[in-house]
């Protein structure tokens, strides 16, 4: 597993698909052992030598070069025999008015790592970033927002921080409440979905479940149910009833995932569209990908199939199975 990780990350770094924070995290990782450092250097050396020897050839292709190097490393038992080959350069596929981005888009957002905390920042004017947290909670981070969470939730609480706006689909866990800290209030939930806005006035809209709001600089605690909206400013704290509160999928034009497990992406799609898409095989489920597409279910399956060379099997009960082509 470590060998797979080093090969995948080295390929990403050499193809200039890695942002600054990722490079630091990866370089720290390979220094933990001599074996990891040696493998990284071996892959880097082989790739540079292959470029030097083939770059002047008229039919030189980076993808073919990667495949050739991967085959050689496998034969020398430096890689597992079933190690998937990574392409050196990202490929862009346009299908049904959708855009699929294979590499992480550093202009849309970035991940900052330290030993305990991960921070995601989404710039103004970019697509909503969707992230699955360690407990299974899904976050839809709006443009101009930042969100921080621990690598692993410890103790009896799941504490996160938000600056800006995000939609939360919180995984249920009655024994470990989900706590969102903002500059104006603390939000406490067990398992629900809601939209939270902290820039300007504090605004909370509950789609389902129950949410508790502890307003800072005030002794008030408000309990909000599905259909409730809580507004807090310097002058007033109030709860109002709304006839219609949009869900996460109704709020965004494009869905964007960055370096996310394939299974997590499918879980988000199934939950929000009511679909039943299934990935066949653990390797496919664990594969980490970055992808952006239009908010249209009708094209999502085809997009994933074309972009990642997958086979589609449709059952009579409506189940759609995606598997790797043999």
Q: How high is the pLDDT of residue 123?
A: 85
Res 12: pLDDT: 73
Q: What are phi and psi of 99, to 5 degrees?
A: -115, 125
pLDDT at 136: 94
Give 12-65 pLDDT, tens digit per residue.
Answer: 777 666 776 777 777 777 777 777 788 778 777 776 666 555 545 555 455 555
Half-sphere exposure of 197 (CA within 13 A, CB side): 13
Considering the segment(s) 253-324 as one domain, its CATH architecture is 3-Layer(bab) Sandwich (3.55)
**What are phi and psi for residue 299, nearest 5 degrees?**
-105, -10
**Which pLDDT score is estimated for 61?**
53
So where are the chain's domains? Answer: 2-83, 128-248, 253-324
| Whole-number pLDDT of residue 251 | 85
Q: What is the pLDDT of residue 89?
A: 30
Picking from 119, 148, 120, 114, the residue whose alpha carbon sits closest to that of residue 257 is: 120
pLDDT computed for residue 75 by the predictor: 54
Can you give the pLDDT at residue 301? 84
CA distance 109 to 162: 15
The continuous run of DSSP H or E covering 181 comes out as: strand 178-181
* Both tokens assigned to 179: 């706590």
* Segments of the chain with pLDDT less than 50: 55, 60, 76-108, 115
pLDDT given at position 40: 78
CATH fold of 128-248 = Jelly Rolls (2.60.120)
Task: Provide the b/e sequence for 122-158 (b: ≥16 CB within 10 Å).
Answer: bbeebbbbbbbbeeebbbbbbbebbbbbeeebeeeeb
pLDDT at position 68: 57
Q: How far apart are CA 15 and CA 65, in angstroms?
A: 12
pLDDT given at position 295: 74
Residue 189 corresponds to which tokens in the numbers above?
């939930």
pLDDT of residue 99: 34
C-alpha to C-alpha distance for 80 and 6, rounded to whole angstroms = 12
pLDDT at 52: 59
User: What is the maximal distance between C-alpha atoms in the chain?
Assistant: 73
């Amino acid at each position: 597993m470590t060998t797979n990780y080093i090969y995948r990350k080295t390929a990403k770094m050499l193809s200039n698909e890695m942002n600054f924070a990722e490079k630091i995290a990866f370089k720290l990782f390979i220094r933990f052992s001599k074996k990891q450092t040696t493998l990284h250097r071996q892959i880097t050396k082989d790739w540079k030598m292959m470029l030097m020897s083939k770059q002047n050839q008229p039919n030189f292709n980076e993808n073919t070069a990667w495949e050739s190097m991967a085959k050689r490393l496998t034969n020398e038992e430096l890689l597992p025999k079933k190690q998937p080959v990574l392409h050196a350069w990202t490929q862009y596929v346009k299908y049904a008015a959708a855009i699929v981005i294979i590499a992480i888009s550093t202009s849309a957002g970035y991940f900052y790592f330290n030993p305990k905390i991960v921070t995601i920042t989404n710039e103004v004017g970019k697509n909503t970033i969707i992230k699955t947290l360690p407990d299974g909670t899904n976050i839809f981070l709006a443009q101009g927002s930042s969100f921080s969470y621990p690598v692993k939730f410890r103790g009896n609480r799941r504490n996160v921080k938000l600056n800006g706006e995000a939609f939360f689909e919180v995984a249920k866990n009655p024994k470990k409440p989900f706590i969102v800290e903002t500059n104006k209030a603390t939000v406490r939930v067990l398992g629900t979905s809601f939209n939270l806005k902290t820039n300007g006035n504090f605004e909370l809209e509950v789609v389902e479940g129950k949410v508790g709001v502890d307003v800072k600089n005030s002794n008030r605690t408000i309990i909000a149910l599905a259909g409730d909206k809580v507004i807090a400013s310097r002058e007033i704290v109030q709860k109002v009833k709304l006839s219609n509160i949009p869900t996460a999928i109704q709020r965004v034009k494009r869905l964007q995932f960055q370096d996310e497990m394939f299974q997590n992406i499918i879980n988000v799609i199934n939950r929000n569209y009511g679909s039943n898409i299934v990935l066949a095989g653990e390797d496919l489920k664990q594969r980490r990908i970055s992808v952006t597409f239009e908010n249209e279910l009708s094209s999502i399956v085809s997009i994933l199939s074309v972009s990642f060379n997958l086979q589609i099997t449709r059952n009579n009960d409506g189940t759609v199975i995606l598997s790797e082509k043999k």
